Amino acid sequence: MDICKFCDKECKNLSSHVRAAHQMDMEAYNEMSIEDFNALQENFKEKEIEETKVIDDTDSKYFTNRKLSDILKQYKLTEDELINVIKNYKFGDSIPIAQQQKIGTERNEVVAESLSIKDAVETTELGVAELLTKYYGFKVIDVTTKGGTMPKIWVLHKRKV
């Protein structure tokens, strides 16, 4: 039995232990003193700590340096609305109707704008149909419930200018 001079482990096959546990061949093992080895280990630990610190810094920068007011502006929210969303997420509280409608309205605006490039549109959203007639020069041609199914479908055509 050999004893590894680095970690005092008894080894049937020292060279394979050294290769597996310390990632070096016997030539390097024989050349390296225990002091060299310890210094190497210390270096390695310090490097690990530094790397961890860098990651933590990045994270905390991301979260602390952004102003809440900027985030609210980005997502077009008031502080109360954000709190409602957080309560909904964390405690399952329902989001007030007015806020739900606002979310719905904003989504309708996006949908209406994207549909407005067409000449003929079908939509199941009354809100989208309203926006198309109000702002994009569409006219309701038909309101159908195909095969008696809900929801209704609004058929709109763009007015000729």
Smallest separation, CB 66 to Zn ion (Å) = 48
Considering the complex, state which of residue 4 and residue 111 has its C-beta at the smaller distance from Zn ion. Answer: 4
Contact between 28 and Zn ion by CB under 5 A: the answer reads no
Residue linked to tokens 């309560």: 87
Of these, 1, 2, 3, 4, which contacts Zn ion (CB under 5 A)?
A: 4
- Alpha-helical segments (H) within 13-125: 14-22, 26-31, 34-64, 68-74, 79-91, 97-115
Of these, 3, 7, 28, 83, which contacts Zn ion (CB under 5 A)?
A: 7
Q: Which stretch binds Zn ion (CB under 5 A): 15-23, 68-76, 86-94, 112-120?
A: 15-23
Q: What are phi and psi of 54, to 5 degrees?
A: -60, -45
- The 10 Å Cβ neighbour count of residue 138 is 27
- How far apart CA 19 and CA 23 sit, in angstroms, is 5
Considering the complex, state which of residue 11 and residue 95 has its C-beta at the smaller distance from Zn ion. Answer: 11
Contact positions vs Zn ion (CB under 5 A): 4, 6-7, 9, 21
